[in-house]
Structures are given as structure tokens and as C-alpha cells.
Amino acid sequence: MANPTKIAFLDLVTPHQELQEELLAVVKKAFSNAGFIGGPMVEDFEREFAAFCETKYCVGVNSGTDALRFAFMAAGVQPGDIIVTVPHTFIATTEAISQAGANIAFVDIHEQTYTMDPEKLREYLETRCEINPKSGELFESDSKRRIAGIVPVHLYGQTADMDPISELAEKFGLFVIEDACQAHGAQYFSKKDNTWKLAGSMGKAAAFSFYPGKNLGACGEAGALTTSDEAMAQQVKMIRDHGQAKKYYHDMEGYNGRLDSIQAGWLSVKLRHLAKWNESRRSHAHAYHELLAEAKDAIVIPVEASWTKGVYHLYVVRVQEREALQAALAEAGIGTGIHYPIPLHLQKAYEQLNYKKGDFPVTERVAAEIVSLPMYPQMSEEQLANVAKRVKQFASLQMSQA
């Protein structure tokens, strides 16, 4: 018999059932005119998502990975250039760097926010790099490679601390491409400009993923680039479409990286619900914060820095005995995840970068202790309380054994 208290890590069925009629109408519309690639549904979504992110342009593409890769190419990355990012992210961030012909350099994350630590970035740029007096460009001292740009990742739905990152980028003439794949609708308070800004509107461009489990998810693969730079938007439009600005006139080699019309239509339907869904996630997160407060000696809950309004793509706690907590929750029918267990600098795929254990201690500590608890808009109060109850039971057992 199914466990009646079972709480899935993620429920993708309920929102699609709730919106079934509207979603099926999109398919009918596409069938009626066989407009499967490009066309009005893609253009409508691009306009709507640009407005949502408060940018001038949005270019729909196949995935968040494509959006990153195309952004780097359009930003003028040259073979061998370095792009700086964090080792605590999904591998797509760094795959896109390599696939654009660039090299990866890592800087550590901040212990509380899990996003790029601006001080570690400063240390890398100021002590491990130097300016070429002739070109004025920044080079890594050891490898002599040019530093092209920075990719802050707005992980778990919280923005990176963008003011100091942007200031360093400006000082050294580097581009900033935001990895906003987990942060649709997240906000950042810029002290410099004395205003709240949306994820996706702060860099030269930003990449979003619409992978089904994201805050705004498609019903398949999809992604988008947002920017207020017209030349960047035009270039990415060409790159996503085999390098053509006009049919069969190819200015360059590009990719088959377009966004399907049906996915765009579905995204438009769901975008109308995104603000409400994000509010639900925030309110669930605050409920978890309160419910778990008394277990604070054993469980570290997420910290929302004063400069961010997070959209809680994931609710990630830290605990010493991570596997034991996961097992206890699994026993109670509660799903969990780990985002991400192995830091990128220690992945087999990056052996050739010659990083070693101990190079990014904050990332390594965090990666060993994190657990993502169930978090989605449709969770009930009862479900949240049930998860928290089980986590607290585990914590008190741990403390009594300590």
C-alpha cells in the first residue's frame, strides 16, 4: 500500500493537471497552423519574459546550457580565454565555458549564501592576474591567458552579491554573464543604484533554464538569454539559427539552438503564474525557517542575505550526518536531493585542470553537508510541517547522542 504521508521531493504532476486545458490549447493552436519552430508564440514569450526580467530583449533557445554558451560566444570569447566562475554549481555552467572555447577558473563561494564570494574573486583578479601594460587587458600571471569574463551563479534561487562583482568586472574590463538558471524572478538590492533589480537584468546578458523542474519550467528542454544589449541579442539570434540572419544567408557557423513554438506557448501560460508560485515558495521557505529554528544546533537553514529576495528554487539545509538524515526522511516517505555532492574542481571531467582537494574549502565543506528538502508551490502547510517534524526528530536524536 502506498505510504499516505509520502511527500515527493518535487511534484510536477499537479501544476500540469491544474493548467491542463490552457496547455492543451497551445498544442491545438500549433497543430492548426503547423507553426512548430519560431513564429508568433516564440516572439510573444520572448517579449513577455523580457518584460518579466525588466530587460529589453529575450532570445529563446534550446536550453540554459545553450543560453550560456551562446552568450559567451556573442560576448567575444576567444579560444584560450579564461572565464571565472564557482565550483559549486551544476556542470552546465562550466561545460558552456569549455564548449565556447574558453578555459575555466574557479573562485570559492561564500559560506552563508553559497554564491560567488566577491572577496575571493577580488583576491584572484588582484593577486593571481596582471594587466598587460600595452593592451590594458587582464591576464592570469601563470598561464598568460586573457581573463574575458565572470559568471556569478544565482544558486538555489538567491542572487549572487552583484554590486562588488560588477565593480570588479568594470575595473578590469570583463563581461559579466549571470547564470540565472535557478533564479527566475529573484531580486537583488543594488546599493550602488539604490534599487531592487531582477536576476537576468544585471549582467551583459543572463542565461535561464526552463528545464521542467525549474521555477518556470517547460514541458521538455528550453532556455533563454536575456539582455538589454541589442547587438548581443542579434548575435545570439544568429548563433541559435545556424548563423543566419536571413534564410540560407549564413554570416557564420552557428547551432541548431532554437526554442520550439509549443514550448514557448506553454512557457507563456506558466509565466502568468510565476509570481504567485514564487510567492508560495518564499512563504514555504519562511515556514521551514520558523519550524526548523529550534533544531539550529544540528541543522543550518538557508540565510537570505539582506540584498536578496530569493525565489527558493531549492530549500537547502546543512547537516553533519547528511546520509543519515536522508535515510531517516526516506523511511518516512519524504524525498530529498543533493545539489551538488561533488564540487566541480574535484570531478573526473576536470582532472586536467589540476585542482586538488583543499583548493576551495568552503565549497568542499558545503558540498559534504547539503541536503535539499521538498520545495514546490503546491506543498501544503501539513506537508511542510511533516517534513520539519521529521527533520527535528532526526536533529534531537543526533543531539542526544552527541
Ligand X SMILES: Cc1ncc(COP(=O)(O)O)c(C=O)c1O
Binding site for ligand X (CB under 6 A): 63-65, 89-90, 92-93, 153, 179, 181-182, 209, 211, 223
Q: How far is the CB of 174 from ligand X (least distance, A)?
A: 19
Q: How far is the CB of 130 from ligand X (least distance, A)?
A: 30
Q: How far is the CB of 157 from ligand X (least distance, A)?
A: 10
Whose cell is 534561487? That residue is 157
Give dist(CA 240, CA 255) in Å, integer: 5
> Is the distance from CB of 67 to CB of 182 less than 8 angstroms?
no
Neighbours of 264 (CB within 10 A): 28
**Considering beta carbons, is residue 217 or 254 the nearer one to ligand X?**
217
**Considering beta carbons, is residue 93 or 159 the nearer one to ligand X?**
93
Give dist(CA 61, CA 362) in Å, integer: 33
**Considering beta carbons, is residue 71 or 295 the nearer one to ligand X?**
71
**Considering beta carbons, is residue 129 or 271 the nearer one to ligand X?**
271
Whose cell is 491542463? That residue is 20
**Considering beta carbons, is residue 211 or 288 the nearer one to ligand X?**
211
Indicate the residue type of 328. A
Q: How far is the CB of 60 from ligand X (least distance, A)?
A: 12
Q: How far is the CB of 104 from ligand X (least distance, A)?
A: 14
Output the DSSP codes for 242-283. TTEEETTEESS---B-BPBHHHHHHHHHHHHHHHHHHHHHHH
Q: How far is the CB of 151 from ligand X (least distance, A)?
A: 9
DSSP state of 333: T
**Considering beta carbons, is residue 19 or 91 the nearer one to ligand X?**
91
Q: How far is the CB of 210 from ligand X (least distance, A)?
A: 7
Alpha-helical (H) ranges within 54-151 are 64-74, 92-99, 118-127
Q: Which of 46, 31, 90, 87 is nearest to 338 (CA)?
A: 90
Neighbours of 124 (CB within 10 A): 19
- Which of helix, strand or coil describes residue 340? coil
CA atoms within 13 A on the CB side of 27: 7
CA atoms within 13 A on the CB side of 53: 30
**Considering beta carbons, is residue 110 or 146 the nearer one to ligand X?**
110
**Considering beta carbons, is residue 129 or 186 the nearer one to ligand X?**
186
The residue of the chain with the least Cβ separation from ligand X equals 64
**Considering beta carbons, is residue 92 or 129 the nearer one to ligand X?**
92
Q: Which of 1, 113, 53, 8 is nearest to 373 (CA)?
A: 8
- Which of helix, strand or coil describes residue 94? helix
Q: How far is the CB of 18 from ligand X (least distance, A)?
A: 23
Q: How far is the CB of 263 from ligand X (least distance, A)?
A: 11
Q: Which of 261, 318, 271 is nearest to 326 (CA)?
A: 318
